[in-house]
Amino acid sequence: MTNTNWQTTHRNKALLLENVHQAAVNFFQQKGYEVEFIDRALSKAELLAKLADYTILGVKSKTKIDAEVLQQARHLKCVLLFATGFDNVDVKTANELGIPVFNAPNANTRSVVELVVAEMVLLLRRVYDRSVALKNGVWQKDWHNCWEAQGKNLGIIGYGNIGSQVGQLAEAFGFRVFYYDVFDKSPVGQATKCDSIEELLQYADVVSLHTFAPSGKPVFTREHFQAARKNFVILNFSRGSALDYEALVEFIKNGKVVGAGIDVFPEEPEVNGPGFYHELQQLPNVILTPHIGGSTEEAQERIAEQIIQVLDSYLTTGDTSRAIKVV
């Protein structure tokens, strides 16, 4: 089935959600689009009620765009993902309907990489707990269970753009880097390739996840926690589904995991504000962040610039060469 929506004479209207960068708003206004800008995600019911009248939809990662939403959006020309991932969109259905989906696959890589490596150092030094204690008036000068990065082994699971650059930057801190990926990836720098997660865990003092679980089952499981070395640190900046969080809590409590940096969760609030709870909040040497790995001024501007570039080409010439395609 082929959708010729991009040729429609319906009035051009853009719906931009989740507080996308102002540059995108400016672009559409300059092109003569009627723009509605909303600083949050919309529920499926809200999308179904609103989207039928729009030709462009721009979102980040919170808004879920399934087959029903796409099928009912009769005037939709394309979907813009102001993000690197695309698992919140039914791309297969979009492809079948002839609705191109564009994203910015590498725009926030550096932002994520810097935060991941920074947290590795903070967790090894147990900085966060001591900072909280000092803010509460408690002086905790101590060197026990505090380690340098130099000479430690970093295991990276998922060696794409982010994982490989984490390895490069970590090497500058003195880490020895090991990596595993389901695809055959060549090493960058001095990294050593492993044939399995189990092999990687023989070496890793720090484990960093940069993968996702298409099956919905965790990539890093309870069995992996059991197989890991004692006193290891783990970070997840990929997807909430990539890690067994119940097992993580258990292994922090029994002392095998001595630090964790978590930026993503299986369930995340749709809007900013109070009310979030997770058992990890109560545990020592755990840094929790609200899915902000790629949230910098520079990254958001790069994402908007990349999206605008591919969109301008599409609207001008019909070019879909950079649209996401799935088999």
Give pLDDT tens digits along the chain (327 positions): 344 444 444 579 999 999 999 999 999 999 999 999 999 999 999 999 999 889 999 999 889 999 999 999 999 999 999 988 888 999 999 999 999 999 998 899 999 999 999 999 999 999 999 999 999 999 999 999 999 999 999 999 999 999 999 999 999 999 999 999 999 999 999 999 999 999 999 999 999 999 987 777 899 999 999 999 999 999 999 999 999 999 999 999 999 999 999 999 999 987 889 999 999 999 999 999 999 999 999 999 999 999 999 999 999 999 999 999 986
| pLDDT for position 7 | 43
> For residues 24 and 308, is the Cβ–Cβ distance under 8 A?
yes
Cα torsion angle, 117, 122, 123, 129, sign: negative
Amino acid at 75: H
| pLDDT for position 3 | 45
The active-site residue out of 21, 176, 210, 239 is 239
Q: Over the chain, what HEC string results?
A: CCCCHHHCCCCCEEEECCCCCHHHHHHHHHCCCEEEECCCCCCHHHHHHHHHHCCEEEECCCCCECHHHHHHCCCCCEEEECCCCCCCECHHHHHHHCCCEECCCCCCHHHHHHHHHHHHHHHHHCHHHHHHHHHCCCCCCCCCCCCCCCCCEEEEECCCHHHHHHHHHHHHCCCEEEEECCCCCCCCCCCEECCCHHHHHCCCCEEEECCCCCCCCCCECHHHHHHCCCCEEEEECCCHHHECHHHHHHHHHCCCEEEEEECCCCCCCCCCCCCCCCHHHHCCCEEECCCCCCCCHHHHHHHHHHHHHHHHHHHHHCCCCCCCCCC
Query: Could you tell me which CATH number the domain at 5-107+298-317 has?
Result: 3.40.50.720
Catalytic-residue membership of 291: yes
d(CA 28, CA 282): 45
| pLDDT for position 9 | 45
- Considering the chain, tell me which residue range(s) the CATH 3.40.50.720 domain(s) occupy: 5-107+298-317, 109-288
What is the assigned CATH class of domain 109-288? Answer: alpha beta
Could you read off the pLDDT of 161-175 as tens digits, one per residue?
999 999 999 999 999
- Chain position carrying tokens 């709870």: 277
| pLDDT for position 151 | 98
d(CA 134, CA 149): 24
| pLDDT for position 4 | 42
Tokens of 204: 């890793």
**In which region does residue 99 sit, left (phi positive, over 0), alpha (psi from -120 to 50) or beta (all else)?**
beta
The active-site residue out of 75, 222, 291, 322 is 291
d(CA 155, CA 179): 5
Catalytic-residue membership of 278: no
| pLDDT for position 272 | 86
